Amino acid sequence: MNEQMGWRSGLKKQMTAFSQAALERLFADEKRATRIANALGTMQRGKAAFDRTQDQLMRAMNFAPRSEFKKLGKQLSTLKRRLRELDEKVSRLSEQRPSSTDSR
């Protein structure tokens, strides 16, 4: 298992070095780098427009848009984290509390 992890780590390092060298060559030409940056900006604006239109369409059809699911997912994550914190706190308090024999 450890040998496999070493192999994966080595491959990851090689691929990182390869991709870094490729990006350096790709962005070495200033004009090319500018065109790539412009293309990425255009894609980002297009995606934002698509997302807005998709949300509007989903609302028009009385479906919850993706943005609502994202918002609910964040709220759920916050609640789960808070629950874990409270559970840990209760566990610590119950461990600190001396055990008593209650005869009710």
Task: Please report, as a single letter, which amino acid is at residue 46.
Answer: G
- 2 part of a folded domain: no
The alpha carbon of 23 is separated from its chain's Cα centroid by a whole number of angstroms, namely 24
16-66 tens-digit pLDDT: 999 999 999 988 999 999 999 999 999 999 999 999 998 899 889 988 888
* Judgement on whether residues 35 and 58 belong to the same structural domain of the protein: yes
Q: What percent of the chain has pLDDT over 70?
A: 89
Task: Please report, as a single letter, which amino acid is at residue 32.
Answer: R
- 11 part of a folded domain: no
- 74 part of a folded domain: yes
State how far the Cα of 34 lies from the Cα of 28, in Å rounded to an integer: 11
Q: Could you tell me the residue range of the domain that residue 69 belongs to? A: 64-94
- 45 part of a folded domain: yes
- 69 part of a folded domain: yes
- 90 part of a folded domain: yes
Provide the domain count of the chain: 2
* Judgement on whether residues 33 and 50 belong to the same structural domain of the protein: yes
* Judgement on whether residues 59 and 69 belong to the same structural domain of the protein: no
pLDDT at 99: 63
CA angle 64, 69, 71 (to 5 degrees): 120
* Judgement on whether residues 56 and 43 belong to the same structural domain of the protein: yes
> pTM for the complete prediction?
0.48
